[in-house]
Amino acid sequence: MVWRAYKKAGLLIIMIVALAMIPISQGELLFTKVANATSGTETDAASLEEKLTDILSNEQLYGATTAVSVMHAKTGDILFSKNGGIRLHPASNMKILTAAAALETLGVNYQFTTEVRTDGKVKGKILHGNLYLKGNGDPTLLKSDLRQMAKELKEQGIRKVKGNLIADDTWYDDVRLSQDINWSDEPFYTGAQVSALTLSPNDDYDAGTVMVEVLPKTIKNGKAVVKVIPETDYVEIVNHTQIVAADGTKDISIEREHGTNRIIVEGTIPKKAAKVRSWVSVWEPTGYVLNVFQQTLQEQGIAFVGKSEVLLGKTPAKARVLTTKKSMPLKDLLIPFMKLSNNGHGEGLTKEMGKVVHGEGSWDKGIKVIEQVMDDLDADTDTMLLRDGSGMSHKNMIPSEELLQVLYQAQKQDWFPVFQNSLPVAGEQERLVGGTLRNRMKEKPAKGNVIAKTGSLSGMSTLSGYVTTQDQEPLIFSIMINNYIGSSEDITKIEDQIATMLAAHQFQ
């Protein structure tokens, strides 16, 4: 909060009296001047205020609610704050809290484990008993991992299974979507369902999704070829595409019907055009993994015989482990989570924290853990409302000054290098370095210097993180813009202008 800086300076009473005698707009400037008076930087601080005030006068912000707060990263002093105490929607800046809580709670080397177990015995080449695929929350499980586990079963001599194939997702609760996900968001990868047993189509690790590709190759009736990755009949492709002339229009729509696994692909694609690719969430991801694993076992020559069924269920406690797959450690998982702003990771980590700390893999228990860690980091949780771990909720509310506090206290933790390394870096073209900032602020002094988490939802845009000024003063900043109407590109340009100005600023 703004008050922290003045409590440290012993000037709280003076400030209260002073502010009671002057208009609010002048009081805001006085705060900045007094906070820096002891260091002799009153003129420079005013210059910073003037620059920020000028940027924030942009007419694109008229009617919007904008909060901008800037802190000195070494002292924790607030150098500028406009609406810093107002609760605003953070969008994906919520992931800052989730990542910090996960590092503090789970540790940098934490790994998820997926297991294949059985309650039976192998006689000859036949497993007499059920085969269980037990998920423990790994959001990075791939078809290649299922293939490796199937190969290991084959290496143990198993060629047939006389029993059921059972998927176990009971590590978490069975609530698939956080409470504020809009039904219209649910078919898309950004709103994918969360399960303790889930699958990603590639190493972006968008768990609970398939990739759908439309290729400009003709099949019958002039339709384009549509591929699903990984191959699975768990989803149904409804192909309404049409190949058109090379100079025709590329206009392809890929969308799953709400509440089903029917994916409607329609529109036109010209001959010799580049393929179209989209990530689509699946309805009930546990069944998706089960389907792909069954298919993978068959590919490896492992057949189910007798009256075998494919089911969902719970693994018996005494079932023995046949093979396992461990995920990458958390320090590596944070790269796609934060750099690419992976919503599924945010929600999975939230449930995992709830399971580890409170024995319940739910949003309620996970958010309770996040709140406790934020309290430990001296953030004022009484002024926050947290509803999920990704920021997809339009009901999350956090003041920008509390984001500053979290970012400030994070610097003091032994996991900070991992946290800082996970943040997008302005202008850096390598996808897993620049992340969501790779195409923003491509010139010095911001390029490679602004290290910050982006956030974007309809009518909301946020950017919070770290930057070093031209005279090597480290700053922490948070920009939160809510309730705007118009181009999101125009709003991000304003954020970039602020961050670039901070990078170019000189206090001396």
Pick from 158, 171, 168, 153: nearest CA to 361: 171
Segment 70-88 mean pLDDT: 97
- Say what percent of the chain tops pLDDT 70: 91
pLDDT score at 183: 86
pLDDT score at 70: 98
Residue 203 has pLDDT above 80, yes or no: yes
pLDDT in tens, 209-260: 999 999 998 777 889 999 999 999 999 999 999 999 999 999 999 999 999 9
Residue 55 has pLDDT above 70, yes or no: yes
pLDDT score at 50: 94
pLDDT score at 121: 95
pLDDT in tens, 402-429: 999 999 999 999 999 999 999 999 999 9
Question: Using CA atoms, how far apart are residues 196 and 449, in angstroms rounded to an integer?
Answer: 37
Q: Structure tokens of 289?
A: 């993994």
Q: What is the DSSP letter of 304?
A: E
Q: Structure tokens of 286?
A: 């546990």
The pTM score is 0.89
Domains in the chain and their CATH numbers?
3-108+331-504 (3.40.710.10), 113-175+285-327 (3.50.80.20), 211-279 (no CATH)
Phi, psi angle pair for 506, to nearest 5°: -130, 130
Query: Is the preceding peptide bond at 230 cis, omega within 30 degrees of 0?
Result: yes
DSSP three-state, residue 373: helix
pLDDT score at 287: 97
pLDDT in tens, 257-308: 999 999 999 999 999 899 999 999 999 999 999 999 999 999 999 999 989 9
Q: In what order do the strands lie in the sheet with 251-256?
A: 236-244, 262-270, 251-256
Beta-carbon contacts of residue 139 (< 8 Å; ≥ 6 apart): 112, 198, 200, 205, 207, 327, 333, 342, 344, 345, 348
pLDDT in tens, 320-333: 999 999 999 999 99
Residues annotated catalytic, as ranges: 92, 95, 341
Question: Using CA atoms, how far apart are residues 322 and 317, in angstroms rounded to an integer?
Answer: 14
CB count within 10 Å of CB 104 equals 21
Q: How far is CA 147 from CA 119, 289, 296, 401, in A?
A: 21, 12, 6, 48
